Amino acid sequence: MHLRARGIGDVRLLAAIEQVPRDQFLPRRFAAFAYDDRIIPIACGQTASTVHEAAELALAARIAPEHRVLEVGTGTGYMTAILSRMAVHVFTIERYRRLVDYATERLLEQDAGNVVVVHGDGFLGLSEHAPFDRIILGGSCQDAPEHLLDQLADKGELVAAVGASGSAQKLTRFRRGPDGIAREDLGQIRLPPLVAGRSRQI
């Protein structure tokens, strides 16, 4: 995976990634490309994030074992499984029912018993389970949604790829403090856009 050579040195994160077989979270015909840096199509017209993209997001989130984490954009559940090995509890939202079912099955196979998968609108978050210590957006957005920032705990952090789709975005960390929300740019990343709403058809 060469993550260390690309600046990913967090021991807990690397251990979590090593415990999750990415090929088990991809369509069978793409399993051989599980650790390649390439776009892989999944159900519902979506694409799977690469191992390096998932690692960058998780590293930026600075997850501690006691954290409650909200992930927006479950996809196949690969990053969810990584987060489940780093945090005490993970909630994840996916707009497509087909992907919810797919990810749930894969997560059960990985014994990720501390994960709750929800079919819903990720931009609205999960206010009934808030506050969250960490919120991670698995796709890009123009700016951090207010509904999600409102669900951060004190000293909580939200990590997102901020910027227009189709070009490089800024990997950005938002932190709730006594004076409101502080923002820190961490570098560039390129993710497909998150889509608001919950799909009722697929």
Q: Quick check: 126 and 91 in contact, CB under 8 A?
A: yes
Nearest of 137, 126, 123, 153 to residue 56 by alpha carbon: 137
Ranges 31-40, 94-103, 127-136, 151-160: which has the least confidence = 31-40
| Unique residue bearing structure tokens 């997001």 | 57
For residue 13, what is the enclosing H or E element?
A: helix 11-19
Domain ranges of the chain: 4-189
Per-residue model confidence as pLDDT tens digits over 138-189: 999 999 999 999 999 999 999 999 999 878 999 999 999 999 999 999 999 9
pLDDT for 159 equals 99
Per-residue model confidence as pLDDT tens digits over 58-86: 999 999 999 999 999 999 999 999 999 99
Specify the CATH class of 4-189 in words: alpha beta
Residues involved in catalysis: 49
Q: Cα dist. 165→101, 143, 169 in Å?
A: 27, 12, 8
